[in-house]
Amino acid sequence: MEYSLQEYYRAIEDNIKTVRDNIAESAIKAGRDPADVRLMVVTKTVDINRINHALAQGIDLIGENRVQELLEKNDGFVPSDVEKHLIGHLQSNKVAKILPFVSLIESADSVGICAEISKRAAAIGKTQDVLIELNIAGEESKTGLQPEMLDDLLAEMSRMSNIRVRGIMGVPPICEDEITARRYFSKLHQIFVDKSSQKSDNIRMEILSMGMSGDYAWAVAEGATEVRVGSAIFGIRRY
Ligand SMILES: *Cc1c(COP(=O)(O)O)cnc(C)c1O
């Protein structure tokens, strides 16, 4: 069945409301304040009209996973007061392009990329906020830092002048069952809490970004402060 544009817009409104309700319900059940969980709307492959309709529902944070797509959408379309995060893998040769337009890079995962970000940020007089992406399940097919390397990376980063660590991001394997999924989220949360006590000028653990369309309620139950939701709002992506 094909939807008319009006129906599609209605669906976006309904879906955002449902996601917000689910986040609140899960937070309250876990004894958390729903206001401590921020909803990122993931807009990869979504056209600007649909994005704007989501923004009209009070969304103030969008995520893109490709540099090129983020730049295209930034080009006069998405209002400048909407925060834009990069959530996909970042290559060194794209760092300079993206820095002026991105508020947070959630996918920093190596000393090399962090050094490049700091260097390029210094060149434009910016201090770039990042999250460290952890490969929590040790999956070969995925990017992200191995958790046992985190201390080394943070030690290196404390010597970098124009980059600031704001927290941790994770993309655990998609699990059908709640127990396995929550085990990964709980591991990420544990690391987040452990590192929160570590004080350094440019490391401040405030954001724990985890949970997507299929599992965000479980991520909230395990302590996520930001969830990244795409298809539960816009429907299945067409590439
Ligand atoms: C695409 C993407 C999401 C959103 O995925 P959905 O399952 O559509 O909600 C979240 N995080 C990252 C890193 C992504 O690439």
Residue ranges of domains in the chain: 5-234
- Assess whether the C-beta atom of 87 lies below 6 angstroms from ligand 1: yes
- Give the residue among 61, 100, 101 at the shortest CA–CA distance from 83: 61
Task: Please check the confidence at residue 123 and state whether its pLDDT lies above 80.
Answer: yes
| Candidate from 46-60, 68-82, 101-115, 197-211 with smallest mean pLDDT | 68-82
Confidence (pLDDT) at 205? 95
Distance 42 CA to ligand 1 centre (A): 6
* CATH architecture type of domain 5-234: Alpha-Beta Barrel (3.20)
CB atoms within 10 A of CB 124: 11
Do residues 116 and 137 touch, judged by C-beta distance below 8 A? no
Question: DSSP letter string over 179-203?
Answer: HHHHHHHHHHHHHHHHHHT--BTTE
Give the mean model confidence (pLDDT) for residues 173-190: 94
Of residues 237 and 101, more confidence is placed in 101
Give the span between the Cα atoms of 22 and 29, in whole angstroms: 11
Of residues 201 and 225, more confidence is placed in 225
Confidence (pLDDT) at 101? 92
- Assess whether the C-beta atom of 169 lies below 6 angstroms from ligand 1: no
Average model confidence (pLDDT) across the chain: 94
Closest atom, ligand 1, to C-alpha of 234: 8
Distance 232 CA to ligand 1 centre (A): 10
Give the mean model confidence (pLDDT) for residues 53-72: 94
Do residues 67 and 94 touch, judged by C-beta distance below 8 A? yes
- pTM confidence score: 0.96
- Assess whether the C-beta atom of 65 lies below 6 angstroms from ligand 1: yes
Our mutation pick for probing the ligand 1 site, out of 12, 16, 87, counting the most ligand atoms within 8 A of Cβ, is 87
Q: Residue 54: CB partners within 8 Å, gap ≥ 6? A: 12, 16, 41, 43, 62, 233, 234
Give the mean model confidence (pLDDT) for residues 124-146: 95
- Assess whether the C-beta atom of 45 lies below 6 angstroms from ligand 1: no
Give the containing element (helix H, strand E) for 96: helix 95-98
Could you give phi then psi for residue 30, rounded to 5 degrees? -90, 5
The tokens for 129 are 């906020």
Distance 83 CA to ligand 1 centre (A): 17
Give the containing element (helix H, strand E) for 120: helix 111-123
Which residue puts its alpha carbon closest to atom 13 of ligand 1? 87
Give the span between the Cα atoms of 60 and 83, in whole angstroms: 6
Tell me the per-residue pLDDT of 5-62, one tens digit each, with 9 for 90 and over.
888 899 999 999 999 999 999 999 999 999 999 999 999 999 989 999 999 999 999 9
Confidence (pLDDT) at 161? 96
Confidence (pLDDT) at 1? 57
